[in-house]
Structure 1
Amino acid sequence: MKLTAFFCSLLLVAMTAKAEMSTSKSTSSVTEAKYYLIGQCRFAINSLGGGAFTADNRSEPSAGAYTGLLATDDPEFTIFCYPGASDDEISDQLGAKKINGKWVWLGTGEPFESAQHFKIFAFSGKNWTGQAVTYDDTTGDEAMRQRRFSFCLLQTGGSQVLCGTSSVMPLGYPKSNVLPKIMAVLRSIEFVNLPSPADANAASDTAAPNE
């Protein structure tokens, strides 16, 4: 009888420990995503890929920076908020625009050269669609030339737009390409709608102490 009671107590301890571990795991998964605010854009980054993201609303314009990139001339990529950006404004951020059937580099106002290996592509996340371009440096010290990457994420059914740019690969070291890592971080972004002024006022009134 005593032996049976002993085994029952062991089983109860094991079940309790398992439940606590499950609760801890569930809590960590819920709190894993962190929300960021840049200007009028609010979003979560669900996977930082071992890097870190910092939002700075004291700068002008407000910006965010992801750090954790290696083998590029700039160890971070920056993100800015352009709410309600027009097609022309998005083209400006990408640095490329299709004119008369040809993609023009806005840096020179001339069509991209074949040596720049220009590419434009679309991608998407949970509640946004994205546009991006890559092209190679063709001037400057050959040892320092990079592949450049620019992108814009457009909220589905909303006005939030995030755009950014980064170097992704020294042209002499293609194995050091960090574009897949950047893309993985970007694809994990999820926009969160900002409360309307009416909602904010209602929340403020609800939170105010009774007089």
Structure 2
Amino acid sequence: MKLCLAPLVLMLAPIISWADGSNTPPSLVRAALDSCGFTMTDFYGGTYEIVKEGDPHLFFYSKLINPKAKKALSVNITFRCVNPATPEDFFKFSGSKLTDKGWVMDLDPDVANDSGMHNTFYLLKGKGWEGTGISQDVTNGDEENRTRRFGFCIPHDGAALCGGGDVAYLNDLKSSSLKQVVKMLETIEFIEPSTGAPMQK
């Protein structure tokens, strides 16, 4: 399949130091992803691609966030704009539903009753929005390579920015990148798509 890659605009902020001793310049990423134009602060120096082949268009984020982990995992997060966003989309991507009391976890009974998946619900909050996330453990396949996955959905004007990816190996949860991924997602601000024309890093 031929990929049509569009670049992203990055604005550099002052260099900061992290606990692992590395110096990483945070970058402000602007992306026009269909009707979900957004900015996001990347604290970790990741790489990005917009794939416009197919529908919906996809935004990919990739970074080895914890290089000193016992078993290092490259975090690969896929974003997509779902428009219009339905209750089924929130169920599918972030295991959630909106009630008159707010967001709650919503799973198939078989998944909800599988204690081995360690289903954990997250309420995400950013500037002008409240979204949801869920972490779940993979329970099949090669035990050595089983992972913890994180999915999310952030509603915006009838649409939703949804996605997810692996954040840890189950045999090295101490090195999980989940907190870093959530921190980055909560910097998302929605903008007019025309102001976020993506460009190459």
| TM-score, scaled to structure 2 | 0.68
**Residue from 82, 107, 110 that aligns with 1:104:** 107
**Whole-angstrom distance in 1 between the partners of 2:90 and 2:29:** 26
Higher helix fraction (1 or 2): 1
Richer in strand (by share): 2
Match for residue 52 of structure 2? 57
Q: Distance in 2 between matches of 1:164 and 1:120?
A: 15
The residue aligned with 1:41 is: 36
Q: Distance in 1 between matches of 2:29 and 2:12?
A: 12
Deviations 1:18-41 (A, max 9, x none): xxxxxxxxx965xx6332111221
Larger radius of gyration: 1
Change in CA separation of 1:96 and 1:123 when aligned onto 2, cut-off 3 Å? closer
| 3-state SS of paired residue (1:65) | strand
Return the letter of the residue paired with 2:50.
A
C-alpha distance in structure 1 between counterparts of 2:121 and 2:173, whole Å? 19
CA contact under 8 A between 1:169 and 1:176: conserved in structure 2? Answer: yes
Q: Would the aligned equivalents of 1:103 and 1:112 in 2 still touch at CA under 8 Å?
A: no
Quick one: structure 1 residues 28 and 168, their matched pair in 2 at CA, closer, same or farther if it must change by over 3 Å? closer
Structure possessing the higher relative contact order (Cα contacts under 8 Å, 6 or more residues apart): 2
1:138 equivalent to 2:139? Answer yes
Gaps of 5+ in 2: 1-10, 14-26, 66-71, 99-103, 195-201
By how many angstroms is 1:93 displaced?
1.9
Structure 1: 5+ residue stretches without partners: 1-26, 196-211
Answer yes or no: is the 8 Å Cα contact 1:97–1:104 preserved in 2: no
Residue 142 (structure 1) shift: 1.1
RMSD of aligned C-alpha atoms? 2.8
Q: Does structure 2 conserve the Cα–Cα contact (< 8 Å) formed by 1:65 and 1:77?
A: yes
1:33-72, CA deviations, whole angstroms, 9 ceiling, x for partnerless residues? Answer: 3321112211111334221232222343200011113533
Are 1:68 and 1:75, in contact at CA under 8 Å, matched by a contact in 2?
Answer: yes
